[in-house]
Amino acid sequence: MFLALQDVASAPWFSLDLTGTPDISGAILYCFFTLAVFSFLYKDNPFYKLAEHVFVGLGTAYFTLQYYDEGILQPVYEYLFGEGGVIEKMETSGIVEIGGYSVDPVMALVFRGIAGLLAVMLVMRLFAPNSWMPRLPLAVMVGVYAALKMTGETQSKLVLFVGNMFKDPITNSNLLSWSELTAQPSWRIENWEAFFVFSKIVFFVGLLSALTHFIFTYRRTKVLAGISKVGVITLMITFGAMFGFTVLGRIALLIERVDEMKSYTASAYSLGPAPAAGQDPGVLSLMLTPPILISVIIIAVLALGIGIKKDGRANA
pLDDT of 295 > 80? The answer is: yes
Which residue, 234, 168, 226, 244, is CA-closest to 203? 234
**What is the biggest distance separating any 2 CA atoms in the chain, rounded to whole angstroms?**
85
The total of other beta-carbon atoms located within 10 Å of residue 263's CB is 14
pTM as predicted:
0.68
pLDDT value for 286: 81
pLDDT band at residue 6 using 50, 70 and 90 as cut-offs:
very low
The total of other beta-carbon atoms located within 10 Å of residue 11's CB is 20
pLDDT value for 247: 94
pLDDT value for 7: 44
Q: Across residues 209-229, what is the average pLDDT?
A: 85
pLDDT of 131 > 50? The answer is: yes
pLDDT band at residue 9 using 50, 70 and 90 as cut-offs:
low
SS3 string, 46-58, reads HHHHHHHHHHHHH
Q: How far is CA 116 from the centre of its chain?
A: 30
Per cent of the chain over pLDDT 70 is 91
pLDDT of 125 > 70? The answer is: yes
SS3 string, 226-270, reads HHHHHHHHHHHHHHHHHHHHHHHHHHHHHHHHHHHHHHCCCHHHC
Over residues 164-177, the pLDDT tens digits come to 666 665 566 677 77
Over residues 230-243, the pLDDT tens digits come to 999 999 999 999 99
pLDDT value for 276: 67
Higher pLDDT pick, 121 / 186: 121
pLDDT value for 279: 67
Q: 23-32, 148-157, 167-176, 217-226: lowest mean pLDDT where?
A: 167-176
pLDDT of 5 > 50? The answer is: no
Q: How far is 108 from 52, CA to CA, in rounded Å?
A: 44
Considering the chain, what is the average pLDDT of its residues?
A: 83
Q: What share of the chain is helix, strand, coil (3-state, %, to 5)?
A: 70, 5, 25
pLDDT value for 48: 94
pLDDT of 52 > 90? The answer is: yes
Over residues 63-107, the pLDDT tens digits come to 999 999 988 888 888 888 877 778 877 777 778 777 777 888 888
Q: How far is 205 from 230, CA to CA, in rounded Å?
A: 9
Q: Across residues 250-270, what is the average pLDDT?
A: 88
Over residues 146-157, the pLDDT tens digits come to 888 888 878 777
DSSP state of 98: E
pLDDT of 56 > 90? The answer is: yes
